[in-house]
Amino acid sequence: PHAIIAVPRFDRYQEISSQLMDTLADFSPRVEALSMDEAFVEMTGAERLFGPPREMGRRIKQAVREATGLDISVGVASTKYVAKVASAHDKPDGLTVVPAAGARAWLAPLPVSRLWGAGPKTVPRLHALGLLTIGDVARANAGRLGSLGAHFHALANATDPRPVHRTHVAKSIGSDQTLVADVSRREDIELHLRRSADRIGRRLRAKGYVARGVRVRLKTRRFQMLSRQCKLQRPIDLGGELLAAGQSLLDRFGDAGPFRLVGMAAFDLAVRDGDRQLDLFEDLAARELETTVDDLMQRFGRGVLMRARDLAESGTVVGDGVNLDYLERVDGPA
């Protein structure tokens, strides 16, 4: 009589799953979905964009929380198998980093049930052979382990050559900023919108995408999420063009502020055609500027450049995990 019946909402599950995968695709073009709520992300070479492995994991967790409201567990490792085991090591809301050099030792004390593919029938057989831990399997003769012996022996020794296969193509690329203090002035909202537009533009160009739609999201101090979107006359991938579309959408929010979250997303994505005819309306100087900034950030990190107009009155910039203090405010073109 006290049973609580929860009706499954598969449409909602799918919606959240898509948001999760799209968020992961913001970090890497190679996302392999394992289930609705689990995926591999290839982050090789992304250190200059997102920092060392632990910082990468922290940023992914934060981005997923902001996009979906959910806490996730992240495992960072040099192979798919070790990353999967690491992601389940400290649930819920965990972050486990296993360096390649220590992966075999980290796996060793874990039970054999943590071997990928060791199910209810296999585990008792391993126990019967006196193999209780992954370390036991690593030291065993692979020939003793049956038809899957080579597979289990390789995993136990932290060997897993399988690459991450791209199974998810982002439907949108977004950037939301949760603010320390609410904002209501148009110029303050546009400042945060500009930062989002720049980030989204960089991600679009890095992935070879163009967007045919732009969405602006604003969250009020009462946690009401408001959204306005528009389709574009031509596909774009420049931060300046994204900002212009976002600014036009701001006019449609009225006086709903103040706001504590400002965000933007580019949607209806398509692969950019590198051989396409030049667009008569494209600002070639703006493209050269933004692609030059891309190159500099790729070489020296995301904090190497910033817009002068992003400096606050105090002369302090806070963004992309970088704090830079200036003695005086710098004015001039961005």
What CATH number is associated with residue 274? 3.30.1490.100
* 138 and 108 inside one domain: yes
In a domain, 255, yes or no: yes
With respect to residue 165, please indicate whether it lies within any of the assigned structural domains: no
Task: Say what the pLDDT of residue 321 is.
Answer: 34
What CA–CA distance (Å, rounded) separates 245 from 235?
A: 12
CB contact at 8 A, 168 and 24? yes
Classify residue 244 as left (phi > 0), alpha (psi -120 to 50) or beta. Answer: alpha
Is residue 190 within 8 A of residue 247, CB to CB? The reply is: yes
* Amino acid 270: pLDDT: 83
Residue 17, both tokens:
């799953």
- Residues with a catalytic annotation lie at 38
Q: Is residue 34 part of a domain?
A: yes
Residues 176 and 272 in one domain: yes
Residues 288 and 190 in one domain: yes
CA distance 240 to 322: 22
Does residue 222 fall inside a structural domain?
Answer: yes
Residue 24: exposed, middle, or buried by beta-carbon count in 10 A (0-12, 13-18, 19+)? buried
In this structure, are 193 and 236 located in the same domain?
A: yes
200 and 282 inside one domain: yes
Whole-number percent of the chain with pLDDT over 70: 85
pLDDT in tens, 89-110: 988 899 999 999 999 999 999 9
Ordered alpha helix ranges (H), 88-185: 103-107, 122-128, 134-139, 149-156
Q: How many domains does the chain fold into?
A: 4
State the residue range of the domain holding 287.
172-293
Query: What is the model's pLDDT at position 325?
Result: 29
Measured CA to CA, the distance from residue 251 to residue 263 in angstroms comes to 15
Based on the fold, state whether residues 121 and 90 are members of the same structural domain. Answer: no
289 and 176 co-located in one domain: yes
Q: Which of 78, 99, 120 is the last residue of a domain?
A: 99
In this prediction, the residues of the chain whose per-residue pLDDT falls under 70 are 273-283, 300-334
Q: What distance in Å separates the CA atoms of residue 240 and residue 242, rounded to the nearest whole number?
A: 5
Pair (289, 310) in one structural domain: no
180 shares a domain with 275: yes
Both 35 and 91 in one domain: the answer is yes
Query: Which pLDDT value is given to residue 333?
Result: 31
Residue 109 CB: number of other CB atoms within 10 A? 9
Asked, for residue 167, whether it belongs to a domain, the answer is no
pLDDT at 70: 93
pLDDT for res 302: 61
Residue 127 tokens read as 């126990």
In whole angstroms, give the CA distance from residue 242 to residue 290. 13
Distance between CA atoms of 333 and 315, rounded to whole angstroms? 16
In the three-class reduction of DSSP (H, G, I as helix; E, B as strand; rest coil), residue 259 is classed as strand
The CATH number of whichever domain residue 132 belongs to comes to 1.10.150.20
Q: Tell me the average pLDDT of the chain.
A: 84
219 with 138, same domain: the answer is no
164 found inside a domain: no
pTM (whole model) above 0.75: no
Same domain, residue pair 283 and 323: no
- pLDDT value, residue 286: 78
pLDDT of res. 308: 64
Q: Is residue 1 part of a domain?
A: no
Residue 89 lies in a domain: yes
Assess whether the previous peptide bond of 258 is cis (omega < 30° from 0). yes
Provide the CATH number for the domain around residue 84: 3.30.70.270
